[in-house]
Amino acid sequence: MIWIKNRLSKIITTVIMTALSVFFLIPLLWMTSAAFKFETDVMVFPIQWIPETINVVYNFKAVWMGSVPFYTFYLNSIKISLAVTLLTIAFSSMAAYSLTKLRFRGRDLVFILLLSYMIIPAQATLVPRFLLVRWFGLYDTHASLIMMDMFSIYFTFLLRQFMMGVNNDFIEAARIDGAGHFKIFWSIMLPLCKPILATVGIIKFIWSWNDYQNPLIFLISRELYTIPLGMALFRDDYTNNYAIMMMASLSAIVPLFIVFIALQKHVIKGIALGGVKG
């Protein structure tokens, strides 16, 4: 009897939660539906979830092949996010390797230093970073954004936590066989770290893809804009044309959805890891 009762209550909560989750998804469903509509139908109430007439080709063309085409933003975002992700992985894993597997004077001091830097919010150092970028002659370039974003104490710590768990026997054995640290790092440590590297890479990619603040400050040329800045352009160019704006939003989010749904285990694990280790 208790077994049946438990089952029943579980079914009921599942139904309630499903209703709640639909409610949660409504803004995104509305966006998708509006992206397919004629502008005149977007704000019709009650909402036509499945549009009677569709204008998807026109909306798509306006977004992707208009005066400032979306694919430029796409290519810019892909270029920057990929570069940032690869460089972050390289620098963070190198630092983490040094902090866990190499012994030298000053190492623990560096570690404490990095730890203390973590509380400096990037927003508080915007002005000097803006000046540095200008002095380096990198204002209004993609290099400025990559440079700003390719160092991450957070991921260094995450990787350090992981590498501390890697057994030193592998390294000792390789040492005896005469391998140098560069070789050990590249052909032993990195392959062992593959799962955490995948996690770090995906999260960093998503964050970089969604960044609005740095591009807003460091870029002025339209053709250099990333997707979030491009969204702001669309809003200014198509004020109150919601069908086109929703097509732009949909275009901005879809690649993230695909990446997330394909790799959700890595993403969720990475977020949870950061939270639990604190």
Partner 1 sequence: MGEFQRHRTVWNQKRKEALTGWLFLLPELIGMLLFNAFALVFSLYLSFTEWDLISGLSGIRFIGLDNYMKMFQDSSIILALKNNLYYTVLTVPVSIAIALVMAVIIHTKVYWQGYFKVVFFIPYISSIIAIATVWSALLHPSLGPVNQFLRRLGIAELPTWLADPDTSLLSIAIISAWAGLGYIIIIYLAGLTNISDELYEAADIDGASELQKFFKITIPMLRPTTFFLFITMLIASFKVFDIIAFLTGGGPHNSSTVVVFRIYEEGFINYNMGYASAISWLLFAIISLITAVTWKFRKEDAA
> With respect to partner 1, which residue has the nearer C-beta, 142 or 211?
211
Binding residue for partner 1, selected from 56, 138, 174, 256, defined by CB under 8 A: 256
257 near partner 1, rule: CB under 8 A: yes
Interface residue with partner 1, options 8, 19, 65, 102 (CB under 8 A): 102
Least distance between partner 1 and beta carbon 191 (Å)? 17
**74, 76, 81, 84 alpha-carbon torsion, rounded to 10°:** 180
DSSP SS3 for 21: helix
Which C-beta is closer to partner 1: that of 105 or that of 194? 105
Q: Which residues contact 196 (CB under 8 A, 6 or more apart)?
A: 158, 159, 162
| Residues 147-166 close enough to bind partner 1 by CB under 8 A | 148, 150-151, 153, 156
Q: What is the contact mask toward partner 1 in residues 22 to 41, using x (rule: CB under 8 A)?
A: --xx-xx-xx--x-------
Cα(52)–Cα(58) distance, rounded to whole angstroms? 16
Among 157, 146, 187, 194, smallest CA distance to 170 is for 187
Are residues 226 and 77 in contact, defined by beta-carbon separation less than 8 angstroms?
yes
Q: For residues 5 and 99, what is the distance between their CA atoms, to the nearest angstrom?
A: 54
271 binds partner 1 (CB under 8 A): yes
Stretch that binds partner 1, among 12-20, 54-62, 64-72, 137-145 (CB under 8 A): 12-20
Query: Is residue 275 near partner 1 by the rule CB under 8 A?
Result: yes
Is the CB of residue 94 less than 8 Å from the CB of residue 159? no
CA distance 188 to 194: 11
**Of positions 90, 112, 173, 262, contacts partner 1 by CB under 8 A:** 90
Peptide bond into 46 cis (omega under 30): yes
Q: Residue 31: helix, strand or coil by DSSP? A: helix
Q: Of 182-241, which residues contact partner 1 (CB under 8 A)?
A: 182, 185, 206, 209-210, 212-213, 216-217, 227-228, 231-232, 235
Number of residues that bind partner 1 (CB under 8 A): 91
Radius of gyration of the chain (CA): 24
**Out of 160, 171, 246, 266, which residue is the one contacting partner 1 (CB under 8 A)?**
246
Q: Which span sits near partner 1 by CB under 8 A: 55-63, 100-108, 138-146, 190-198?
A: 100-108
Q: HSE on the CB side for 10, CA within 13 Å?
A: 6
x-or-dash pattern for partner 1, window 50-89, by CB under 8 A?
----------------------------------------
Report helix angle 70-101 to 227-237, nearest 10: 150
Least separation in angstroms between CB 61 and partner 1: 19
Please choose, out of 15-23, 48-56, 164-172, 193-201, the segment that lies near partner 1 by the rule CB under 8 A. Answer: 15-23
